[in-house]
Amino acid sequence: MSKWQLFLKATRFYSLPVMLVPVVLGTAAAYVWEQEFHPVLFILAFLGAGAAHLFSNMINDLWDYRNGTDTAAQENSDLVSTHSGLLTGGIVSEKAFATLTWLFLAFAVVCGVLLCVFSGWELLYFVVVGALIAYFYVAPPLRFGYRGMGYSEVAILFAFGIMPVTGSYFVQTGEFSLRSVLLSLPVGILTTLLLFNHHFLHWQSDKQVGKRTLVVVWGERKALVLSRIMTVLAYVLLLVCIFAGILPFYAVLALLSVLPLYRVYRGLQAQNPSPAYLPLMGASLKASMWCGIIMSAALILDSLI
């Protein structure tokens, strides 16, 4: 692989939209609701959020490798591994991988501090809490992604939904808003769903190494029911936002983003081989991305009309 291909694989670059779309959504809300838009601040928030997301991906890979989780998944040919494979395969040294990981965090922190200077130091809470969530998701001593009590799902909802939407809104306006919190919930839950669904791919190996995800704790059948419930909840909250006037009525078009998920769910049984969940991962990513994009477009269109 070329260096660029190694970079894309190490960072799982394809997943960036789940962080960047909420930033766009929060910025669009600030523009439409408060007529505030500062391009430089938006660029800083956009780049900082992207770097924070790539740090999160890589630090999770790094600690899953150190904890033995990735190795266990790779050794079982019946399971689909979701890590980059660069550490377990010896393609990249742990030192080089860790160096790039911390460089992403450093860049994200610099962007965060600059935004604090221009928008308000209250934003520092987002920077600190976001960094702690990303690091301790799988890192000791907390490792709350291993504890199976729903901690990781709540953390993902905050880190990939509430915080990027409300934070980017604050960057533009210097104020927090309950409306922006409600606006964040549909796309936040869909992103949480994406992270939840990826556990189906290797839950047996997670169980072997003591990673107690909800799929491990509840079992495949019950966890799949919860996956469907989360999907329904996300789109119910989308409708709540429309009926509450937070989104214009034509944001109802975002309901179309559920179709890929619906098609995959319809083909799943109560128990499935690991590869059967790969389409669910792809559908979850599409749903989160397109729901957020359509919500953002509906806000901007409403301001133009």
Cα–Cα distance, 292 to 18 (Å, whole number): 9
Share the mean pLDDT of the chain. 87
Query: Residue 81: is its pLDDT beyond 80?
Result: no
pLDDT of amino acid 2? 78
Out of 26-30, 65-69, 130-134, least confident range: 65-69
pLDDT of amino acid 254? 97
Q: 């766009």: which residue's tokens?
A: 24
pLDDT of amino acid 203? 72
**What's the pLDDT tens digit per position in 155-207?**
889 888 999 999 999 999 999 999 999 999 999 999 999 988 988 887 777 77
pLDDT of amino acid 69? 62
pLDDT of amino acid 21? 96
Out of 66-70, 103-107, 274-278, least confident range: 66-70
Q: Which domains does the chain have, with CATH numbers?
A: 3-303 (1.10.600)
Q: Indicate the pTM of the whole model.
A: 0.89
